[in-house]
Structure 1
C-alpha cells in the first residue's frame, strides 16, 4: 500500500469512527453527513469517495467485522479438533473481540440501525462470511457424526445466528454490564449440546 492509499484508509477509518460515535450520542436519524464532515475535518468529496451514504458506514463496519472473523479467528481453529470444540472456540473469540474491540455502544447503535424497516438488514444477507463459517462448521459436525441429522446445516446456522443476536441485543440493552466472554460460555454450550447426536 502506497502513502496515498494509506492516507485514504486513515481518512475512511476516521470518518467511520467519528460517525459511529455521533450515531451513538445523537441517534442515527439526527446525524447529518455535513455534521460528520465538520467533526472529522474532512470534505464532502472525501466522505462520498468512501461512502455512498451514512448507511454505508454500518455496511463497512459489518464487512470489517466479518473480515476479522475470516482473517483472524478462522485460522486459529485447529482442523483436528471436533466441530463442537471449533464452534465453542470460535464463539469465545468472537465475543472477546466484540466486547473488547467494538464495545456495547457500537453494537447498540448497529442494532438500532438494523431495525430500520426501509431497507434490507445486513443481518439477513445470507452469504455473509460469518454465516459461511458457521455453515462449514455445522457441515463438518454432521460429516464427523457429531451433530444430529434431523436438522439441516442451514437450520443450525439460523439457531446460532439467533443466539448470537439475542446475547448481543441483551448485552446492549444492559449497557454492557455483564461479560460477554463469561455469559456466552454457558449459553452457547447449552445450544451446542442440543445439536449433538
Structure 2
C-alpha cells in the first residue's frame, strides 16, 4: 500500500497545480508570448523563486501543458483499441481524441498554442506520437498498411494535417464542427495509406 503524503508534499502538489492553472488561464487570455513568469507568479500568489522551484522556465509550463495532452491520450487511446478493430476506424478515432483535446482546452487556448513560435509541435518522441507509430506498426503487421511505408513519416504527416484542421477551427473562432471536420479530412488522408 502506498505511503500517504505528508502535509508538506500535499502543499507542494497543490502549489504546482495552482501555478499551472494560473499559467494556463493567462495563456488563454493573453497568449504565451505575452505573459511573464512574474505575472504567472503574481496570479498564483507565489514568489518568482517559488515559481522556479516548480518550473525551470516559462517554457517548462508549456512542456507541462503538452504533457497533460499526452496523459489524455494515454487514457483515451486504449479505449479506442478495445472498441475498434478496423485500421481506418482506429486512426480516425485517434485523431478525434486529438480534436477533443482542443475542444476540452477551449478555442482560446488552442489559438494561443497553434502558433508558429510554438516548437513543441515539432518535438519528436512524445507519447502521443509514439502511440500512433506503434498503432501503425501493428496495422502493418496485419497487412493493412504497406510495409514499404515509414510509420514515423505517416505519423508526422497525419499530425501536420490534424494541426491544420485545428488551426482552421481557431481561425473560425471555434464556430465549425471540429469533430466532423477532423473525421472527414483524416478519413480521406488515412485512405491513402491503407491497403485495399
TM-score bracket for this pair, using the shorter chain length? 0.7 to 0.9
Q: Which residue of 2 aligns with 1:128?
A: 126
Q: Which residue of 1 aligns with 2:179?
A: 181
Q: Which residue of 2 aligns with 1:152?
A: 150
Q: By how many angstroms is 1:84 displaced?
A: 2.4
Give ranges in structure 1 of 5+ residues lacking alignment: none
TM-score normalised to structure 2 length: 0.86
Q: Distance in 2 between matches of 1:80 and 1:21?
A: 36
Q: Distance in 2 between matches of 1:63 and 1:164?
A: 18
The one-character-per-residue Cα deviations of 1:152-176 (angstroms, maximum 9, x if unpaired) are: 1122112211112111211122221
Q: Which residue of 1 aligns with 2:60?
A: 56
Instruction: Please say if 1:108 is aligned against 2:111.
Output: yes
Q: Which residue of 2 aligns with 1:194?
A: 192
| Cα contact 2:72–2:101 (8 A) shared by 1 | no
Give ranges in structure 2 of 5+ residues lacking alignment: none
Q: Distance in 1 between matches of 2:151 and 2:135?
A: 9
Question: Which of 7, 19, 26 is the equivalent residue of 1:15?
Answer: 19
After superposing the two structures, state which structure 1 stretch, 27-36 or 58-67, moved more. 27-36
| Cα contact 1:82–1:141 (8 A) shared by 2 | no
Q: Distance in 1 between matches of 2:100 and 2:163?
A: 15
| Cα contact 1:78–1:86 (8 A) shared by 2 | no
| Cα contact 2:28–2:108 (8 A) shared by 1 | yes
Q: Which residue of 2 aligns with 1:4?
A: 8
| Cα contact 2:28–2:109 (8 A) shared by 1 | yes
| Helix, strand or coil at the partner of 1:195 | coil
The one-character-per-residue Cα deviations of 1:44-77 (angstroms, maximum 9, x if unpaired) are: 232111111111111110011112211x112212
TM-score normalised to structure 1 length: 0.86
Root-mean-square deviation (CA, aligned residues, Å) is 2.1
Q: Mark the CA change 1:178 to 1:196 in structure 2 (over 3 Å): closer, same or farther.
A: same
Q: Distance in 2 between matches of 1:187 and 1:25?
A: 30
Q: By how many angstroms is 1:125 displaced?
A: 1.8
Aligned length: 190
Q: Distance in 2 between matches of 1:86 and 1:159?
A: 17
